[in-house]
Amino acid sequence: MAAAGFWALVGLATVTGLGTAWALGANSNSPPFAPAIGANAISTMRAAFLIGILAALGALTQGGSISETVGSGLIEGEPITSLAATAGLLTATAFMAFGVYSGYPVPAAFATTGAMVGVGLSLGGTPVYDTYREILLFWVLVPPVSGGLAYLTATLLRRDDIPETVSVPVLAAVVGGIVANVQLSIIPSPPGETQASLASFFGQFVTTPAIGGLELDVLAVTVVAAVGGFVFIRRRTQESVDRGVKTFLVALGSVVAFSSGGSQVGLATGPLENLYRVELGLPGIVLLAIGASGILAGAWMGAPRLLQATSREYAQLGIRRSIAALVPGFIIAQVAIALGIPISFNNIIISGVIGGGLAGGSAGVSRRKIGVTLTFWVLTLVASIGIGFGLYRVLGTALGVI
């Protein structure tokens, strides 16, 4: 009976995690392609197909760091049990569902992080204050950094003395250089490491000295990738500015969707880390594959409807402001993945939209709306801690666990 109960809880926790991943795939991974759809650069169904594939690949190859933080980095002393994982996931998913149906901007990262802290405290665990400080500092810095980068990007695109045949390829070069340094688990890595970048992999075939800690071989590959991105988009914009911009929008949407999968899957798989990797003894890739499957299904089944709505919003923003919002999203998502910090794409994109709007003289968003959004983010974090704590106590008492 005990074994049957354990496997029943494993099944329940897994289904709940899949449901959370489905919700993330249907909602959180859609914005990257909305500008391209709004500009008629790609169809809605094709975008939904690419979102599912790219987000799932990002989840598989980059999702491990954030999954570990959510699963074992928030609470010390008490492992997250299958029942606690279920309580945390149900709490986070409930908040996300409320946001979808009410129209209020509920950040998935805030809801999941708060819920897992709540269930961990309910288990009797000890708060990891150093991790909390790092996460909160990152969250606080996201709006000004995302908004600032978006402002600079939009300013570059709006300058009359810099034609789009130059400004757009320059942004493509920046994106290309960053892509070359993205850490992926599928790239052969040195002993003792689980990930490597294209720059480090191809750099090993070039013999160069290191100067001041800077590896010139990695720098050389980064420069080649940046130049390649610049030349490709430059040629496209010279042939036709409209075609070149649309090509860049699709490429930018692709890398942001990939990054979104890598940064969001941990919100669904993190609560299951102890269950799968410790209690069941399975490798991390199995758990990431489950999360990636949920994201893939959510994107294919739920993204088309949301894409149609968000593409109209981005079409009203304009191509320049849309690009200005997505470039910081890609950069910040990759930094968060590297640091293992759960993030909200809503937070990044909204901040980017505001920053890009300021470059044109108006953010296009009322102060009241900004205030309501920030207030709701704080309420989401605080309330999810309390509800996660209470829900585990209720479930544990009902099942005789506590």
* Number of Cβ atoms within 10 Å of the Cβ of 138: 17
Q: Which amino acid is at 199?
A: A
Which contacts (CB < 8 Å, 24+ apart) does range 391-397 have? Answer: 391/87, 391/90, 391/91, 391/118, 391/119, 392/83, 392/84, 392/87, 392/88, 392/118, 392/119, 392/122, 392/123, 393/122, 395/83, 395/86, 395/87, 396/83, 396/122
Q: What are the tokens at 379?
A: 């309420």
Dihedral angle over CA of 244, 249, 251, 254, nearest 10: -170
Quickly count: other Cβ atoms within 10 Å of residue 210's Cβ: 11
Q: Spell out where 213-294 has E strands.
A: 214-215
Q: Which of 253, 183, 251 is nearest to 218 (CA)?
A: 183
Reading the block at residue 348, the tokens are: 């990044």
Taking alpha carbons only, the member of 323, 141, 154 closest to residue 246 is 323
Return all residues near 371 (Cβ < 8 A) that are at least 6 apart: none
Contact 203, 218 (CB under 8 A): yes
Cβ within 8 Å of residue 390, ≥6 positions away? 118, 122
Per-residue pLDDT at 350: 77
Q: Is 373 in a helix, a strand, or coil?
A: helix
Q: 201 near 193, Cβ under 8 Å?
A: no
CA 54 → CA 59, 131, 298, distances in Å? Answer: 9, 29, 13
* Cβ pair 351, 77 in contact under 8 A: no
Cα dihedral: 380, 382, 386, 392 (round 10): 60
- Residue 139's pLDDT is 93
Query: Which backbone phi and psi does 210 adopt, to 5 degrees?
Result: -95, 130
C-beta separation of 93 from 20 below 8 A: yes
Identify the pLDDT of residue 377: 85
CB 260 within 8 A of CB 28: yes
Between the alpha carbon of residue 307 and those of residues 35, 54, 102, 300, 310, the distances in Å are: 9, 16, 18, 11, 5
pLDDT of residue 1: 41
Mean pLDDT by 10 residues, the chain (402 residues): 76 92 82 80 88 93 92 92 93 84 77 95 94 94 91 88 93 95 86 82 72 75 94 95 90 92 93 92 92 92 74 68 86 92 83 77 62 83 96 90 76
CA 292 to chain centre: 13
Structure tokens, 80: 């997250």
